[in-house]
Amino acid sequence: MALPAHRLLIALLLPLAACARQPEPKPVERTQTNEQGCTRQRSIGPQDPFANPAPLKQACLGPHLLEIPQNYFYNQIGTEHDGSYALALEYPSLEPFKPGERMGLTTDVSIRTVTIDYRYIDRIELSEAMRRSYIPMDYKKDEPQENLETRIAGEKLYDLSPYFVNMDLVRAYYRSRGYNEDARVMSPDRHTDWYIKKDDAGKVQTVIKCTSREVTSSGVEYHDGKLVKSRGYGFAKCSHTFMIAPLSTLVLVDYPREGLDHWKEIERRARDMLTKFNVEERKESH
């Protein structure tokens, strides 16, 4: 049955009235201020990761404002919407990837990526944050792979003190808890060897955790001077943690195990970039 004319008119006008009541969209915030009072300019609108020369993008590290060419960012665009970010360099050159080179990320490009994550620490002491990288949480304190004391201490290597995973202890521990022999935790590729650097006072300055030495295949090879994935499953890698005390910053770096003997150079590069990109540092140097 057809609607009366006045009801039909009301039905037609209701959607228009609803549209009219829609609130105006909020203007996009062009700046973002973090908890420590650092205010950065946000990148608004479509981004071009292939732009060359790469434009500068702002990021915050605690209260410190940084200006970084966008091709240094892991995503080669800039910070994420919440202001978080990581940087990426190419191994072994430790130079940034070319603009747009990390778009459509391939396995080979991923393999040779050195990822650098700067974390400003202000809720706990920086030394405590560092300590947590090699002291187990209470619920893991009985696991032999989580303790320096139940690892195999080795001779100095690359000016680092090695603590190799003791797979005999690891397997015995998990057998005692009912794990099967084919459980993943029984395999060396699930564990890391630790390499520690201490200062003259015995304070831990650097912790590097790498795929176990029992995994002899690196999983990488060189083609035309570029590090690429070799045949086979997985690849050996390292996770490297150190402190930059003046900036109250913990630095976490990931790279292929090939880079272990270049750990000092990698650490130096990560430090130097913070100085280079720090807006305050640049002003003081001029």
Residue bearing tokens 């960012």: 73
CA 282 to chain centre: 25
Domain extent for 145: 31-285
Q: Is residue 13 part of a domain?
A: no
Q: Which of 139, 153, 222, 142 is nearest to 194 (CA)?
A: 153
Q: Which residues pair with 60 in a beta bridge?
A: 65
Q: Walk along the chain (286 residues) in steps of 10 and give the mean pLDDT of each run.
A: 55 56 72 96 90 97 98 97 96 97 94 97 95 95 96 97 98 97 96 96 95 94 91 90 96 97 98 95 64
What gap in Å lies between CA 32 and CA 66, rounded to an integer?
13
Q: Is residue 233 part of a domain?
A: yes
- Asked whether the beta carbons of 229 and 237 are under 8 A apart, the reply is no
Mention every residue, 6+ apart, whose C-beta is less than 8 A from residue 146: 136, 140
Q: Is residue 23 part of a domain?
A: no
Predicted confidence at residue 126, as pLDDT, reads 95
CA 201 to chain centre: 29
- Asked whether the beta carbons of 73 and 95 are under 8 A apart, the reply is no
pTM, to two decimals: 0.88
Q: Is residue 273 part of a domain?
A: yes
Q: Is residue 243 part of a domain?
A: yes
Q: Is residue 161 part of a domain?
A: yes
Predicted confidence at residue 184, as pLDDT, reads 96
Q: Is residue 81 part of a domain?
A: yes
Per DSSP, 143 falls in state: -
Q: Is residue 274 part of a domain?
A: yes
pLDDT in tens, 137-148: 999 999 999 999
Counting the structural domains of the chain, the total is: 1
Mention every residue, 6+ apart, whose C-beta is less than 8 A from residue 45: none
